Amino acid sequence: MIRLEPYAQELIAGAVQAPHDVQICDLAVAKKPEQAFRKKLMDYQPDVVGFGGFSSQFRVNKGLAKIARELVPKAVICLGGIHPSSMPTDCKYPELFDLLVRGDGVSAMKEILQALESGRALPETDWIIPTASPKFDELAGKPPPAIHSDGITTRPRRDLVNMSDYFCICYGEAGQRVKTLFPEIACVRTSVGCPSRCSFCVVHFLANGKYLQREVEAVVEEIASLKQDYVYFVDDETFINTKRMQMIAEMLIGRGIKKKYISWARSDTICSHPELFELWKKAGLEFVYIGFESLKKENLSAYNKNATPEQNRKAREILRGLGLNIHAALMVNPDFDKEDFLTVQQAVKEIAPAEFAFTVLSPPPGTKSFMEARDTFICEDPCYYYDCIHTILPTRLPLKTFYRYFAILYAMGAARIPARVNKVKIPLRDQARFVMAGVKFGWQLMTMHRRYDRKYW
Out of ligand SF4, ligand B12, none, what residue 196 binds, judged by CB under 5 to 8 A for its kind, is ligand SF4
194 binds, options ligand SF4, ligand B12, none, Cβ within 5 to 8 A by partner type: ligand SF4
Residue 51 as a binder of ligand B12 (CB under 6 A): the answer is yes
Q: Which residues from 209-268 bind ligand B12, rule CB under 6 A?
A: 234, 236
Show Cβ contacts of residue 227 under 8 Å, excluding neighbours closer than 6 positions: 163, 186
Closest CA to 442 of 417, 418, 397, 412: 412
CB of 236 to ligand SF4, least distance (A): 4
Choosing from 165, 221, 250, 387, the residue that interacts with ligand B12 (CB under 6 A) is: 387
Among 26, 237, 286, 355, binds ligand SF4 (CB under 6 A): 237
- Cβ-based neighbour number of residue 36 at 10 Å: 15
For ligand B12, which residue of 13, 22, 46, 50 counts as binding (CB under 6 A)?
A: 50
Find the Cα–Cα–Cα–Cα dihedral 261, 206, 157, 46, rounded to 10°.
-150
Question: Which residue number, 79 or 198, has a Cβ lying nearer to ligand SF4?
Answer: 198
| Per CB under 6 A, 64 contacts ligand B12 | no
Phi-psi region of 55 (alpha: psi -120 to 50; beta: other; left: phi over 0): alpha
Figure out which of the listed residues 14, 88, 105, 334 binds ligand B12, where binding follows CB under 6 A.
105
x-or-dash pattern for ligand B12, window 288-327, by CB under 6 A?
Answer: ----------------------------------------
- Which residues, other chains included, contact 237 with Cβ-Cβ below 8 Å and sequence gap of 6+? 191, 194, 196, 203, 264, 265, 266
**Contact between 91 and ligand B12 per CB under 6 A:** no
**Residue 198 interacts with, from ligand SF4, ligand B12, none (CB under 5-8 Å by kind):** ligand SF4
Element (H, E) at 264: strand 260-264
Q: Which is nearer to ligand B12, 156 or 172 (CB)?
A: 156
Q: Is 360 in the site for ligand SF4 (CB under 6 A)?
A: no
Q: In the chain, count of helices (H) and strands (E)?
A: 18, 12
Question: Pick from 148, 158, 189, 266: which binds ligand SF4 (CB under 6 A)?
Answer: 266
Residue whose CB is less far from ligand SF4, 204 or 390: 204
Cα–Cα distances in angstroms (integers) from residue 99 to residues 9, 46, 94, 120, in the given order: 16, 16, 8, 15
At position 292, the amino acid (one-letter code) is F
How far apart are the C-alpha atoms of 41 and 167, rounded to whole Å?
Answer: 27
**Rounded least distance, CB 242 to ligand SF4, Å:** 14
> How many angstroms separate the Cα of 326 from the Cα of each of 50, 170, 195, 305?
36, 11, 23, 19
Q: Decide: helix, strand or coil at residue 86.
A: helix
Least separation in angstroms between residue 321's CB and ligand B12 is 26
Q: Which stretch binds ligand B12 (CB under 6 A): 6-14, 239-247, 374-382, 424-432?
A: 6-14
Question: In the set 22, 26, 27, 86, which binds ligand B12 (CB under 6 A)?
Answer: 86
Nearer to ligand B12, 8 or 279 (CB): 8
SS3 content of the chain, % helix, strand, coil (to 5): 45, 15, 45
Q: How many residues does the chain have?
A: 457
What does the alpha-carbon distance between residue 305 and residue 290 come to, in Å, rounded to a whole number? 12
* Residue 236 in the binding site for ligand SF4 (CB under 6 A): yes
Member of 54, 211, 384, 456 binding ligand B12 (CB under 6 A): 54
Q: Counting contacts by CB under 6 A, is residue 82 touching ligand B12?
A: yes
Residue nearest to ligand B12 (CB): 80
DSSP assignment of 29-83 = S-SSHHHHHHHHHHHH--SEEEE---GGGHHHHHHHHHHHHHHSTTSEEEE-SHH
Measured from the CB atom, is 197 or 338 closer to ligand SF4? 197
Pick what 2 binds: ligand B12, ligand SF4, none; C-beta below 5 to 8 Å, kind-dependent.
ligand B12
DSSP result, 155-201: PP-GGGS-GGG-B-----STT-B-S-SS-BEEEE--EE--S---TT-
Q: Helix (H, G, I), strand (E, B), or coil: what is residue 346?
A: helix
> Applying CB under 6 A, does 189 fall inside the site for ligand B12?
yes
Q: Distance between CA 45 and CA 40 in Å, rounded?
A: 8
Environment class of residue 246 by beta-carbon count within 10 Å: exposed (0-12), middle (13-18) or buried (19+)? middle
* By CB under 6 A, residue 198 contacts ligand SF4: yes
Residue among 260 and 305 whose Cβ is closer to ligand SF4: 305
Position 201 contacts ligand SF4 (CB under 6 A) = yes
CA dihedral 7, 12, 13, 18 (to 10 degrees): 160
- Stretches 45-53, 114-122, 333-341, 423-431: which one binds ligand B12 (CB under 6 A)? 45-53
Residues that bind ligand SF4 (CB under 6 A): 194, 196-198, 201, 203-204, 236-237, 266, 291
Residues that bind ligand B12 (CB under 6 A): 2, 4, 6-8, 11-12, 50-52, 54-55, 78, 80-82, 85-86, 101, 104-106, 108-109, 147, 151, 189, 201-203, 206, 234, 236, 357, 359, 364-365, 386-389
